[in-house]
Structure formats: C-alpha cells, structure tokens
A and B are shown apart, each in its own frame.
Chain A
Amino acid sequence: MRFNWEYFFETLPLIASKLNVTLSLTLISAFFSLVIGIMFALISYYNVKGLSQLLRVWVSFIRGTPVATQLFFFYYGMANISSIILNMSPTVAVAVIMSLNMGAFVSESIRGALISVDEGQREAAMSLGMSGWQMTTRIVIPQAVRVALPPLFNDLINLFKMSSLAFLVGVRDVMGAAKIESTQTFLFFECYACVMVIYWIITLMLTFVQRRLETRCNAIY
C-alpha cells in the first residue's frame, strides 16, 4: 500500500471546491446560533421565571445527545409529523440542527461572560442611580464581550467542523464530495486525507485570528 500523491494533489482542488457549501453552512449557522445564544443567555441571566428552568433542561438535552442523532431525529424522524420538515432541503435541515445545537453552547459562553462582570460594579452603577439598561449597555456588555470572544471563537471552530455532518443527509459539502469521489476510485486514504488537510488549514487560520483577537481583548484594559 502506498500513498498516491499524484491522485491526492489532483483530488484536493476538486474536494476543496465544495468549501463554499461547508463555509456557507458554517456562517449561516453561526449567525443563527449567535441569535439563539444571546436570547437564551439573556433569559437565564435575568432568570426569567419558567423559561430559564425550561432552558436549562433544553441545554442539558442538547449537550447530552450526539449531534448526528439530533440531525437524524429531526430530518428523518420528525418528518413523519411535520410536512415542513418533510419538504425541507437537507442543507436547510443541517443548518437548523447546527444552529439549535451550537445555540445551546453559545448561550453558555455568553452567560458565563455576563456573570463574569462582578456584582460590585453592578451595585456601583445602581447606587449612582443608573438604570438597568444603562448599566447593561455601558458597563456589563462591553466587559462581557471581551470575556466572551475567545470561547465564542471556539464555538465557531467547532461549528465549522460540525458542518461535516451534512454529508450524512446527502449534502455535497467537502466531506460529501470526498465520500462520493472515494467510492468511485476506492482511494479512501487519499480522499479523506484531502478532507483533513482542508479542515485543518481553515481551523489553523481561525485559530490565528482567535489568538490575535485574544491578545487585543486583553490589551485594552
């Protein structure tokens, strides 16, 4: 058995050409998981009665079950009871599950950041007569963003890798392209090496940005 380098370099651009699917899945889900995450985080931060308890169960459920199972349960299972899901394109279904799943993790990252702003500063703001809104927007959020950015970037990297699940429901993303290619040539070694290299390079780039961001966040004050 020898590694076919020629085939590897031939196939690499072919598989990499599907990065647009992988990246748009990642970006769209990143947006929606951020929206969900912020909403969830605020609900538990303000301890909204009933809702925050419900959320705790939801987050524990999402974190405690495999995301592939969630995808299948949603796309194949729930299609039996909902015609919307039945008629849903697999790409949309994957984006929905990625958003819901990562939303739970993002909400934890944001909640942690909000809590990290100490009670003393809140008391100081209140004692000066500032309103809750002023305190949140001028004191809490600016500090929380700095704390939240590094974990949020971790979530983004995880989301990027999670998008490889899309091939399970037939989406032709990077992973899907490799699967199709390899079943034709039986050169599994080379095809999946391509996938790994592509993911690794993008992740390295994201990590580089994360490092820079972290240093800048720490340097401000």
Chain B
Amino acid sequence: MAENFQLQIITPDRIFYEGEASMVEFTSVDGEMGVYKHHIPLTTVLAPGIVTITEPGGKKEAAVHAGFVQILGEKVTFLAEIAEWPDEIDVGRAEAAKARAEERLRSHSAQIDVARAEMALKKALVRLHVK
C-alpha cells in the first residue's frame, strides 16, 4: 500500500485541490509523469494535460493547462494557470475551440500563430478527453 503525501493544486483564482493522495499523474513538457511519496525534489513545467489524483478513496481526474509543479518528498504543489474538474468543462465551447484551432492550422496562412493554435487545440482536446 502506497503511503499518502500532501497534494495541492493552486490556481490564481482559488485553491483548486488540497488533500492527501497516494499518487498523482500528470503531463510535463517532457512527457507523462507519475509521482509517489518520497520522490526526489523536482520542479518541472506542465503541459496541457490530465491530472489523475489517486486518493485513498478512489481516483479523480482534472484538466490542467500551463503552469508548473514543485515536488518535494512529502508534498506536491501544482501552480496551474487553469484547472478544471470534468463537470466544470463546457463541452460546446471546447468543441468550438477545437474546430477553430484545426481550421487555423489547416489554413497555413502567414498571419496565424502556429504555436498558439496548437496550444489551443491541445487544450481543447484535453478538455474533451477528461469529459
């Protein structure tokens, strides 16, 4: 049985999550990561993705976009710019954002910011996936 550690997910607007978890999985810019207690101290940058929190009582999923994570042996802190629970996600909006981003990427015109459109697409996909 894995031991529990302190997990906090903080956004500019609120403390999104605070509690004990035995494992947390998320997507960093270098790929997917899973963290147990007594992980080495690490700070890494988040990519848009799904955060899966394994609590003693079960699993919870949330969509988290942009930010960074500070991992200490007993405590993991997410500083996220945006974090949403599945029931907070507006599917219609995410679908629209996805279509818009895809359209932009397809058009290949010089005016669009490819990096930005890709980011928007990723966020939309993550939202839809969590839902």
Q: Do A and B bind each other?
A: no
